[in-house]
Amino acid sequence: MATSSPSTSAQPIDALIVGAGFAGMYMLHKLRGLGLNAAVVESGSGVGGTWYWNRYPGARVDIQSLEYSFGFDEELEKEWRWSERYAPQPELLRYAEHVADRFDLKRDIRFNTRVTAAHWDDAAQVWTVQTEKGPAVRCRHLILATGCLSIPTDVTFPGIDTFKGDVYRTSRWPHEGVDFSGKRVGIIGTGSSAIQSIPIIAGQAEHLTVFQRTPNYSMPAHNGPIPDADFEAWSKDPRGYRAASRDTVGGFQNEASDAMATETAPEEIRAELERRWAWGGFRILGAYADTSIDPQANRIIQEFVAEKIREQVKDPAVADLLTPKDHPFGTKRPCVDTGYYATFNRPNVSLVDLRAEPLAGFNAEGIKTTAREYAFDAVVLATGFDAMTGAIERIDLRGRGGRQIKDHWAEGPRTYLGLMVAGFPNLFTITGPGSPSVLTNMINSIEQHVEWVADCLVALKQRQQTSIEASEEAEAAWCRHSAEAVTPSLLPQANSWYMGANVPGKPRMFMPYAGGLNKYTEICRQVAAKDYEGFMIRQGERVLSESRVFTSLPEPGEIPEKLAPIIMERLMAAGLLPAE
C-alpha cells in the first residue's frame, strides 16, 4: 500500500475498510472519489474476495453475469463483455482484477494482512485496528467489507490428520488447481459448491464418492454464451435494466408473478414451471407468490422438482436420496447446476447417505462411516461457511466501554438496518446481518450499502461531526421489523445457514433481512432523508442530534386475501401480533 498507508501516526485516516472483495473495492473507490482518505486491509494476496478464494472446479456465479456486475460506472460497464450467462470463477476474478487496475485500487490495499482486533477509543473518537503484522491503524470509521461467506466452517473430523491422502477445501482451493485424474476421490457436502464441483471432479476422477447429509434443490443453469437477444436487450438500456433489477425483492429479474399456485389449474402450473425450468437458474422462484408462504403451494414446486430429479437420475433409489424431504423449496439457498443430477448416472460415481450411515471420521486410508470404510487418494471438504457473522466475530471487536461484539450478539446478530450496531460508533458493515445481502444479487446489495455509507460519511464530514451510532431503540425496532418480515414465510422452517444451523452452538436466528431489496433500499433512503433517523450523532463530546426512534417503515403492502390468515397466525404465534 503506497500513498495513504495507514499507520499509528497522530492523524487517523478517514476510513479503514476490511476486505478487498467487490464490497471493499467499491467502497475504496467511492470514498476516494469523495476526497476521503481511505485504505483497505485484506488477508488474501489479491482482490476479488469470494472469487479469489473459491477456485474449486466448476465455481461460477448463479445470478446472470449481466446482472452480477458493477453498475456504478458506465465506462466500466461498456468495456466488459461477459463470455457466458453465468461467468466462471476465473472470469469473475479477471473482472475483479480489471476493476482494481482500472481504478488504481491496489496502491491503497494492504494484502496478506488479517485484521485481528479493533477497539473503539471513545475519548479520541477513533478506532484502533490491529493486524497480524505491521503497525496498528487509527481510523475515524471502520468499514467491515469482510463478506457474508468468507469464513469456512470450523468442521473437523476425528482422525483427519492421520489421512495419508490430500485434503482440499472448496473455499480455500489451491491456486495452481488440482488434477484428480486416476484418483479415488471423496467429497463431503452437497451444498452449492459441491453441486458445482461434483460433475467436473467426476469427469476426472477414477471414482468419486459423494457423502451427503442433506440433499438440496438444484435447478439447471442452461449455461452457455449470452444469447444475442439478451445482450441486445441489455445493451439498449443497461441503466434501465439495472434499475429494474434493483427494484425487485432479490435484486435480480426473475419475472416475479403475483399469481397463486393454489388458485391455478394444474395444467397451467405445469406449463409455467416447465417454461421457467427450461429458462433455467432462479427463474422458477418467481413463478407463484404463495409458494414462499403457503406449504400447500410450496409442495407443488417440491413435487415438480422431485419429478425433474427422477427424470435425470436413472436409479430410482439414488434419485430418491437426492430429493430433499426435510425443508420446503426455497428455504435453503437453492443451487444452480450444470449436469449435477445426471452425474449420478456415471459408473464412477456413488452416493453415500450420511443419515443412514453417519460419518465416524477418517483413518489413514480414507473415510469411515458407522457402516464401512472408504479408501481415497483425496478428499474434498465442501462443508460451507460460518455465514454472515463468522468474519465479523473472528475480529476482537470492542465498542463503547469495551463491549465485545460477541457479547452483543450472544443471542444472534443485532443491527440497525444491517449497517450499524448500537454501542459500536462509526462501525459499518457492508451487507451485514439484518440486511438483504445473501437473499439477493449481492452486487446490487453491495452497491446500495456502499453508496449509503459514503453519503453518510460525507454528511458527517461536511458538518464536522465525529461519530454516528445506532440507538438501542432503533436497533431493537429493526430487529423486530426483520422478524416480522421473515416470520410469515417458510424460510425459518429449514435448518439453513441463513438460520446459523450449520454451525454448532451458533444462535438460531434468521440473519438476512427478508423484506426485499426494493423495500429495504427505500427504508434506508428515508432514514438518511430524516437526518439519519435512529442514529445519535456527536461532535467530540457534544451530542448534536439524538434520534432514538425508527419510523421509516413503508406502508405495508396489501396482503392477498388467501394468505392473510396464514400470515396472521404465524405472526401471532411468534408474539409479533397481539392475540385477538
Ligand X SMILES: Cc1cc2nc3c(=O)[nH]c(=O)nc-3n(C[C@H](O)[C@H](O)[C@H](O)COP(=O)(O)OP(=O)(O)OC[C@H]3O[C@@H](n4cnc5c(N)ncnc54)[C@H](O)[C@@H]3O)c2cc1C
Half-sphere exposure of 240 (CA within 13 A, CB side): 5
User: How far is 153 from 277, CA to CA, in rounded Å?
Assistant: 32
**Which CB, 302 or 441, lies closer to ligand X?**
441
User: Can you say how many angstroms the Cα of residue 477 is from the centroid of all Cα atoms in its chain?
Assistant: 24
User: How far is 409 from 518, CA to CA, in rounded Å?
Assistant: 27
Cell of residue 20, nine digits:
478487498
Q: How many residues does the chain have?
A: 580
As a whole number of Å, the end-to-end CA separation of the chain is 61
For position 22 contacting ligand X by CB under 6 A, the verdict is yes
**# residues contacting ligand X (CB under 6 A):** 36
Nearest C-alpha neighbor of 240 from the set 253, 255, 257: 253
The contact mask relative to ligand X for 386-405 (x = CB under 6 A, - = no) is -----x---x----------
Residue from 129, 249, 380, 442 that binds ligand X (CB under 6 A)? 442
DSSP 285: G
For position 520 contacting ligand X by CB under 6 A, the verdict is no
For position 18 contacting ligand X by CB under 6 A, the verdict is yes
For position 21 contacting ligand X by CB under 6 A, the verdict is yes
- Measured at the CA of 95, the angle between CA 87 and CA 113, to 5 degrees, comes to 115
User: How far is 239 from 77, CA to CA, in rounded Å?
Assistant: 10
Q: What are phi and psi of 336, to 5 degrees?
A: -125, 125
Residue from 43, 214, 383, 415 that binds ligand X (CB under 6 A)? 43
Residue from 441, 465, 482, 521 that binds ligand X (CB under 6 A)? 441
For position 82 contacting ligand X by CB under 6 A, the verdict is no
Stretch that binds ligand X, among 15-23, 207-215, 269-277, 350-358 (CB under 6 A): 15-23
Stretch that binds ligand X, among 403-411, 441-449, 534-542, 560-568 (CB under 6 A): 441-449
For position 54 contacting ligand X by CB under 6 A, the verdict is yes
Q: How far is the CB of 533 from ligand X (least distance, A)?
A: 26
User: How far is 269 from 260, CA to CA, in rounded Å?
Assistant: 10
For position 99 contacting ligand X by CB under 6 A, the verdict is no
Q: How far is the CB of 150 from ligand X (least distance, A)?
A: 4
**Which CB, 517 or 536, lies closer to ligand X?**
517
Cβ atoms 440, 148 nearer than 8 A = no
For position 114 contacting ligand X by CB under 6 A, the verdict is yes
Residue from 15, 17, 41, 454 that binds ligand X (CB under 6 A)? 41
Stretch that binds ligand X, among 48-56, 463-471, 488-496, 552-560 (CB under 6 A): 48-56
Nearest C-alpha neighbor of 389 from the set 250, 315, 499, 495: 499
For position 65 contacting ligand X by CB under 6 A, the verdict is no
Stretch that binds ligand X, among 13-21, 217-225, 267-275, 525-533 (CB under 6 A): 13-21
Cβ atoms 7, 58 nearer than 8 A = no
Taking CB under 6 A as the criterion, which residues in 192-251 touch ligand X?
Answer: 193
Cell of residue 513, nine digits:
433481512
**Which CB, 431 or 489, lies closer to ligand X?**
431
Nearest C-alpha neighbor of 144 from the set 115, 111, 113: 115
**Which CB, 48 or 425, lies closer to ligand X?**
48
For position 57 contacting ligand X by CB under 6 A, the verdict is no
Ranges of H-type helices in 103-237: 192-204, 228-236
User: Can you say how many angstroms the Cα of residue 475 is from the centroid of all Cα atoms in its chain?
Assistant: 22
Enumerate binding residues for ligand X (CB under 6 A). Answer: 18-24, 41-44, 49-50, 52, 54, 59, 61-63, 68, 114-115, 145-150, 193, 391, 395, 430-431, 441-442, 446
